[in-house]
Amino acid sequence: MSEIKRISTPMSDETVAGLKAGDNVLISGTMYTGRDAAHKKLTDLIAAGAELPFDLRGQVIFYVGPTPARPGNPIGSAGPTTSYRMDAYAPKLHELGLKASIGKGSRNSEVKEALRRHKAVYLAVTGGAAALVSKSILKAEVVAYPELGPEAIRRLEVKDFPAQVINDMYGGDIYEEGRRQYERK
């Protein structure tokens, strides 16, 4: 098992280059939330040549639709959404500087190629650990598309947000590596 790497946002090419599939990370800084409806709106803005609600360069998007916050908490339970739902949109966002996305499940070959080409990574958090993940979120505010409710884009301030690198910029894929390790020959 690899050591835990502490990383900060915004992420640089150098930070991404130091991450390998299987690495465990703790992220501190700003990240954004967004699911498929928000991704569709972002790509529509890009296609129209309009300004995005936040600068993608160096950023991290967490695929989540959190539950309402309890009094005194910045956010409710924050479990990851299945990532393949964003696969149609992710390559364009990486082209514009997005350095990482966080969700659960595998990504398609186009997303993996975009990670290699644009020096980015895909991270996962454990499904079912939503209450634990939310403890690392210090602040949450809606910055775009409030009409989407839980799926609005939020800016999160996080400290020691736990994740694992699934796909690195070198083509590494921890899911494929794990599958190969246990396949019968």
The 10s digit of each residue's pLDDT in 29-67 is 999 999 999 999 999 999 999 999 999 999 999 999 888
Spatial neighbors of 130 by CB under 8 A, at least 6 apart, are 67, 77, 78, 79, 80
Answer yes or no: is pLDDT of 1 > 70: no
Catalytic site includes residue 94: no
In order of 52, 133, 135, the CA distances from 48 in angstroms are 11, 35, 38
What range does the domain containing 137 cover? 4-182
Q: What is the DSSP letter of 39?
A: H
Task: Determine the Cα–Cα distance for residues 153 and 155; give it in Å rounded to an integer.
Answer: 7
Tokens encoding 167: 């796909």
Which residue in 123, 118, 125 sits closest to 98, CA to CA? 118
- pTM of the predicted model over 0.85: yes
In this structure, what CATH number is given to the domain that contains residue 74? 3.20.130.10
**Residue 22 pLDDT:** 95
Q: Which helix (H) or strand (E) element contains residue 14?
A: helix 13-17
Report whether 151 contacts 145 (CB < 8 A).
yes
The 10s digit of each residue's pLDDT in 145-179 is 999 999 999 999 999 999 999 999 999 999 888 87
Q: How many CA atoms lie within 13 A of 59 on its CB side?
A: 24
Burial class (CB within 10 angstroms; exposed 0-12, middle 13-18, buried 19+) of 1 = exposed
Spatial neighbors of 110 by CB under 8 A, at least 6 apart, are 87, 91
Answer yes or no: is pLDDT of 77 > 80: yes
Answer yes or no: is pLDDT of 2 > 70: no
Q: Report which residue type is found at 116.
A: R
Spatial neighbors of 84 by CB under 8 A, at least 6 apart, are 105, 106, 107, 108
Number of structural domains in the chain: 1
Which candidate in 9, 25, 36, 39 is catalytic? 39
Q: Report which residue type is found at 112.
A: K
Which residue in 8, 10, 159, 133 sits closest to 66, CA to CA? 133
